[in-house]
Amino acid sequence: MASAAEKKLTGLVAATFTPFTPQGEINLPVIGDYIDYLRETQGVCNVFVNGTTGESMSLSVEERKKLAEEWCKRGHGKLEQVIVHVGSMSVKESKELARHAAEIGVDGIAVISPSFFKPKTAGALRTFLQEVASAAPNLPFYFYHLPAFTGVNIPARDVLEGIEQLIPSFRGVKFSGNDLMDFGLCASYSQPSWSLLYGVDEQLLSALVIGANGAVGSTYNYVGCHIKNLMSAFENGDLVQAKAIQFKLQELLKYAVQVGFDVGVNKQLMSEISGLTLGPPRLPVEPCSSAHAQSIKQKLISIFA
């Protein structure tokens, strides 16, 4: 991995699942194969580790550290960037995770808003982010905006106001929301070194047209190779082709939602497609049957055939 200061994060970033053993403990040995699969089969060379897809909030601090270490170690020379999410309900634990991330040499860290106690103002949230960033001042820092999960509805643009003064290492946003006016306002406010990473896979094209530089999402684990084509088509001005691919992903997710879709289903789906053994999710997410995931896999195959 090159010096983070030199590289701007763009393109597709897979929000990785956390492999578990059948007994529900983290399963580090799978990660090496996981990285190979992403690179070789999907053509995806950036990962967002310990995010929502990775069930980070269900992990202990120790588990999060071990996972970050393994992704870094195994990704070395194979992945372009390993971004580690270090957000937590506790600013104290977040700082500990940020310090650890700096020690192991990740390419960047991201932080979500705490959501049990919700910041009441953009300023309060900014102060929280600043506090965490101060524990790893040399790591590129990303704000992770996920209002549907956190219930924190402060516009991302308000959070960004003056953030470059408070967090010199600030490098962008992972924006996982539907409000594209807010996203556009982030894009028009953003600085050249920032990355605007969109996180709602099923409407990526709508974000690209308003300023997204890249995309972080769980579906890129298994349809990354197709969405790379969407991004290329967009860059080449072929909106007809880009739209056609976007429609396919929408059709797939419509089906998945209809039959039942959450991080547990998503993880099983990835196991079925990739052949990796990712194991069950952790409570309170419930395990998904192989048959359920297979039906979504078949739909995927028929759509993207």
Cα–Cα separations (whole angstroms), residue 45 to 35, 48, 55, 155, 160: 8, 10, 21, 30, 27
Residue window 2-31: x/- pattern of binding to a second copy, with contact defined by CB under 8 A: ------------------------------
Q: Which of 98, 172, 87 is nearest to 138 (CA)?
A: 98
- Enclosing H/E stretch for 141: strand 141-145
- To a second copy, the closest distance from the beta carbon of 77 in angstroms equals 32
Q: How far apart are CA 152 and CA 80, in angstroms?
A: 31
* 127 touches a second copy (CB under 8 A): yes
Q: Which CB contacts under 8 angstroms, 24+ apart, belong to 113-118?
A: 113/87, 113/145, 113/146, 113/150, 113/152, 113/154, 114/87, 114/88, 114/89, 114/90, 114/150, 115/89, 115/149, 115/150, 115/151, 115/152, 116/89, 117/89, 118/150, 118/151, 118/152
* 166 touches a second copy (CB under 8 A): no
- To a second copy, the closest distance from the beta carbon of 240 in angstroms equals 11
Tokens of 209: 């047209």
- To a second copy, the closest distance from the beta carbon of 178 in angstroms equals 4
* 135 touches a second copy (CB under 8 A): no
* 205 touches a second copy (CB under 8 A): yes
53 is in an annotated binding site: yes
Closer by beta carbon to a second copy, 126 or else 297: 126
Among 22, 77, 192, 237, binds a second copy (CB under 8 A): 237
* Burial environment of residue 11 by CB neighbours within 10 A (0 to 12, 13 to 18, 19 or more): buried
- To a second copy, the closest distance from the beta carbon of 260 in angstroms equals 9
Backbone angles phi, psi at 113, to 5 degrees: -65, 140
Among 114, 147, 214, 280, binds a second copy (CB under 8 A): 114
Does 144 participate in catalysis according to the annotation?
yes
> Site size for a second copy, by CB under 8 A?
67
Does 255 participate in catalysis according to the annotation?
no
Q: Which of 186, 256, 268, 263 is nearest to 217 (CA)?
A: 263
* 138 touches a second copy (CB under 8 A): no
Closer by beta carbon to a second copy, 16 or else 52: 52
DSSP at 57:
G
200 is in an annotated binding site: no
* 303 touches a second copy (CB under 8 A): no
- Note the residues at the interface with a second copy (CB under 8 A): 52, 55, 57-61, 63, 89-93, 96, 113-121, 124-125, 127-128, 131, 149-151, 157, 178-181, 184-185, 187-188, 200, 202-203, 205-211, 237, 239, 242-243, 246-247, 250-251, 253-254, 262-263, 282-286
Instruction: Supply the residues annotated as catalytic.
Output: 144, 174
